[in-house]
Structure 1
């Protein structure tokens, strides 16, 4: 299996991007100058790689090698194209079950969700390119290796993925405590995609306006919400219960 790899040096990172490697993190020295640096920044913009401008001390902590003001981490997995994956699932004859993560930031929650998703037969997990938890060593560990067994798609915007799924006949249900109905009142025999929100804010309001349905879990204690990975497991297993 591939591991998260550190690449240093401007030309080496340019070669990695042009060869199609997925760059998880790109750190650039704040005042970096020169034609080669401009080429790297232009390429990063074209490929929609997020650039983190940092002081040279940060780069020196990442590697003692001659980094030339640029350090990157490549992803340990290859990401799937959403359109191809959805078409593949529909053509297989299975009832689609997808998971969308809206700005989930904790890698341990991310890993736990990936593990549960693999165990429940989720066909793919959709994350946004910017702002979410990365697929790194911690993700791999907490997923118990499930990250290598389930397709993960990176999209520019969650909204675009939502519209594509809906256009493909897949209902999109957001998990939110603001919902009027529980998950147990939803028809999960239908092609379905669940949206789980971030740890602090939940599913963003702009996304909630676009989903087909909202659903919650009944709560009987004094604490008003569950850990997102626990809530996700409850949603997925209700889908399994209905589909058995």
Structure 2
């Protein structure tokens, strides 16, 4: 009789073997004031192999103990840059051939499951929890996408929304 206990045993973090293959996408955060939200985004960025995390405007940056704790130290593994002006950064990224998408519910946004991003490098913009993606960044975007909601609320917490969007992008 075989021992199936190893087949159902949960792996420890030390046993996990990451792929370490950067995906063709990065993230831009504009004016995130909550270290919990920044930490959650760092953790998702690490999980899905994000190339870079751009922390713009007044976004909280490492080192920050609450961010580090909530990211499970992902800020040590995800490449990140701080930029004072998100619009200037987006214009620079576009000049380098990076496509820009914003995660925001608008009158003309595309449901995330219907979005078919090309194989180019994409940078996904996330707006602060209380105000969303700013109008100037929406205007610079090549695509605006939203996560369809089936309940009463029109959106998820930005950390959860980031994870859903990155999963969708990684699995395309």
**TM-score, L = length of structure 1:** 0.58
Residue 169 and residue 94 in structure 1: after superposition, are their counterparts in 2 closer, same or farther (change >3 A)? farther
> Residue 132 of structure 1 is aligned with which of 34, 47, 59?
59
Residue 125 and residue 217 in structure 1: after superposition, are their counterparts in 2 closer, same or farther (change >3 A)? same
Aligned positions of 1:9-88 closer than 5 A: none
Aligned positions of 1:210-221 closer than 5 A: 210-221=140-151
String of CA shifts for 1:11-68, please: whole Å, max 9, x gaps. Answer: xxxxxxxxxxxxxxxxxxxxxxxxxxxxxxxxxxxxxxxxxxxxxxxxxxxxxxxxxx
Match of 2:161 in 1: 231
Residue 95 and residue 240 in structure 1: after superposition, are their counterparts in 2 closer, same or farther (change >3 A)? closer
Structure with more relative contact order (C-alpha pairs < 8 Å, separation 6 or more): 2
Kindly indicate which of the two structures has a greater share of residues assigned to helix: 1
Q: Distance in 2 between matches of 1:193 and 1:187?
A: 14
Q: Is the 8 A contact 2:42 2:75 kept in 1?
A: yes
Query: Is there any run of 5+ residues in structure 2 with no aligned partner, and where?
Result: 1-20
String of CA shifts for 1:198-232, please: whole Å, max 9, x gaps. Answer: 01000011111111110001111111111000111
Query: Is there any run of 5+ residues in structure 1 with no aligned partner, and where?
Result: 1-92
- Count residues in correspondence: 149
The answer on 1:148 being equivalent to 2:76 is yes
Q: Is the 8 A contact 1:97 1:192 kept in 2?
A: yes
> Residue 187 of structure 1 is aligned with which of 100, 116, 119?
116
Q: Is the 8 A contact 1:173 1:211 kept in 2?
A: yes
Q: Aligned-pair distance for 1:191?
A: 1.5
**TM-score, L = length of structure 2:** 0.81
> Residue 176 of structure 1 is aligned with which of 77, 89, 104?
104
Q: Aligned-pair distance for 1:193?
A: 0.6
What value does the CA root-mean-square deviation take over the aligned residues? 1.6
Match of 1:97 in 2: 25
